[in-house]
Amino acid sequence: MGKLLPTCLTLITFAVFVSPTAALAVNDPDITCSTGVLCATGAVLTGHNVGNIRFHSGSTTLWECTSGDFKGTLTKNDGTTVEETIEAVAIGGTGTNGECTGSFGNFTFTTDVGNGTPWCLRAGPAMNADEFQLRGNSCGLESRSVTFALLSTTAGECKYNRTAAIVGSYSTNDSDAQLSVINVSFSLESGGILCAGTGEVDMRMTLEKATIPQTTDPLNIS
């Protein structure tokens, strides 16, 4: 016993201090308003793009949009899990009538196809640290795929679909929370020969609380 006890203590110390950091990390998100307290459920949350929104194939940009906004309702914020049902998405660009620009001319981005909105934005302890997921349908309903379409006078309608949840990451600073998705792939569901068969989406968004009068209140995720 005199030799065994020091050996056990050494093993315990090694396990505590040498275990991988990833094993200790926990995704435990809280959304707090500028007051420093948890935002109440029912709050209207908005998102706005930071930088351009790209749909690309490798290093080749297929289309690019300069503005992106979403609006939804916070349905859960209990200290361990955050859920927001996104009800509206608007994406545009610098082309005629606010169209996005692309390899085959300007186009309009729409979610009024297939499953459409609402979407569920969610982060919780079952995910990796600083991870969120976005999937089709309201947060309280069964998951479904995410679809969107690009409408162009050149290429016609290119409809894209993703069955698996979109996985992204969130980060914060002293002024606002930001959500990022990088290289998230979508597959062509229907469209002509000018529609790319697959592509990846890159985008970054701020997350804010809509207030009355029409201003925004920066949020923080901790």
pLDDT tens, 130-156? 999 999 999 999 999 999 999 988 889
Residue 6 confidence (pLDDT) above 70 = no
Which one-letter amino acid corresponds to residue 2?
G
Rounded Cα distance between 188 and 20, Å, is 40
Query: What CA–CA distance (Å, rounded) separates 86 from 134?
Result: 10
| 46/69 Cα distance (integer angstroms) | 7
Q: How confident is the model at residue 98 (pLDDT cuts 50, 70, 90)?
A: very high
Q: Could you give the 3-state DSSP secondary structure of residue 23?
A: helix
**Which pLDDT band, with edges at 50, 70 and 90, does 12 fall under?**
very low
The 3-state DSSP class for residue 193 equals: coil
pTM of the model: 0.83
Question: In terms of Cα–Cα distance, which of 140, 175, 211 is closest to 32?
Answer: 175
Considering the chain, what percentage of its residues have pLDDT values greater than 70? 84
Of 100, 88, 91, 89, give the one whose Cα is nearest residue 152. 100
User: Are 88 and 129 in contact, with CB atoms under 8 Å apart?
Assistant: no
pLDDT at 57 over 80: yes
Residue 126 amino acid letter:
A
